Amino acid sequence: MVWDPLAGTRVLDLAQPMRRGMPQSPNHPPFRMAIERRHGDVMRPDGGSAANELIVTGGHVGTHVDALAHVSQDGYLHGGVEALSVQGHLGFTALGIETFGVYVGRAAVFDVARLHGVPSLPPGYEITAADLAACDAEVRPGDAVLIGTGWSRRWDEPEAFVGHRAGCPGPGVEAAGWLVERGAAIAGGETIAFECIPPGAGHAVLPVHRLLLVERGIHIVETMRLAPLLDTGATECLLVLNPLPIVGATGAPVRPLAVLP
C-alpha cells in the first residue's frame, strides 16, 4: 500500500508554535487567542462540558505561505493581473492562497548556516549564489527549496528574531535568481521575510518577493521551523505543504512537514 514505504520514515514538524507574543511582523495583526467558554461555564444535563476559543490572527502570522496576491509591482500581480481589479471585501478573486492548493513533493535543503559553521547566520547577512552553490544540495525543476539560516533557533528571542534594529539574514536577489534559474517552484525560509534585511533598514523594499512572487509566480514560505530538519544534515526531503484554504487571502498559516528516510 501507499504508506508501506513510509514505515520507518521520520516526520518532522516544521511549524513554529502559535501563541500570544510570538515573533511576528508589526505589519500584521498580532496573534491573540482567548478561551471563550471554559469547562464549568455551561454544564450539559449529563455532566459534560465543552471549551472553545476566539482567535484573532493574520494570514502572515506564524509559519505561513505567501499567496501570489500578496505582492504587486507597479500595480500588477503575477501574470499581469491588475491588483485593483481583483481585490475586494471578500478578499482576492485571483491568486489568493486557495489557488496554491497543496504541495507534496521533493524539497532541496540548503543549510547555509552549516556551510559557515554557525548555528545561525548573523543578522543582515546576505546569502549569495556562491553560498548556495557551495552547499551539498541540488535543485531539480519543480522542487521546493528550503534555505537554512538557522534563524528558527532564535525563536525564543523575539526582538532579535524580528530584527528591526539588527536585521535578518536571507537571500539576496542574486541568490534568488540562482534558484529561479534551476527551476525552483517554492522557496522557504526561517525568518519573517524571505529576504536579506540589512541593519536599520526594515522592510523598505522586498526585492526577492518581487522576483519570486510577482515575476516568477514562485510561492514563499516564511517563519518555518527548519531547525529539526537542519539538525539531520539532510540535503533533501519530502515536503508536505498544505496551507489553510482561506479563500481570497494573501497568505495562510501552515504546518509544513518534512518526511525523511
131-170 residues near a second copy, rule: CB under 8 A: none
End-to-end Cα distance, the chain: 17
160-180 exposure pattern, b = at least 16 Cβ within 10 A, e = fewer: bbbbbeebbbbbbbebbbbbb
Contact pick of 23, 24, 60, 222 for a second copy (by CB under 8 A): 60
Task: Give Cα separations from 167 to 159, 161, 193, 196, 199 (angstroms).
Answer: 10, 9, 11, 8, 4
- Selected from 99, 105, 114, 174, the binder of a second copy by CB under 8 A is 105
Size, binding site for a second copy by CB under 8 A: 98
Interface with a second copy includes 228 (CB under 8 A)?
Answer: no
Based on the shown chain and the rule CB under 8 A, indicate whether residue 87 belongs to the binding site for a second copy: yes
Instruction: Among 39, 79, 118, 231, indicate the residue that binds a second copy (CB under 8 A).
Output: 39
Candidate list 80, 90, 141, 156; residue touching a second copy; CB under 8 A: 90
- How many other C-beta atoms can be found within 10 angstroms of the C-beta atom of residue 249? 23
CB under 8 A: which stretch of 102-110, 131-139, 153-161, 169-177 binds a second copy?
102-110
Cα separation, 157 vs 160, in Å, equals: 6
- CA dist 128 and 112 (Å) reads 10
Angstrom distance (rounded) from CA 106 to CA 11: 14
User: Measured from the CB of residue 253, what is the shortest distance to a second copy in angstroms?
Assistant: 5
From 100-108, 114-122, 144-152, 167-175, give the range in contact with a second copy by CB under 8 A.
100-108
Does position 191 bind a second copy by CB under 8 A?
no
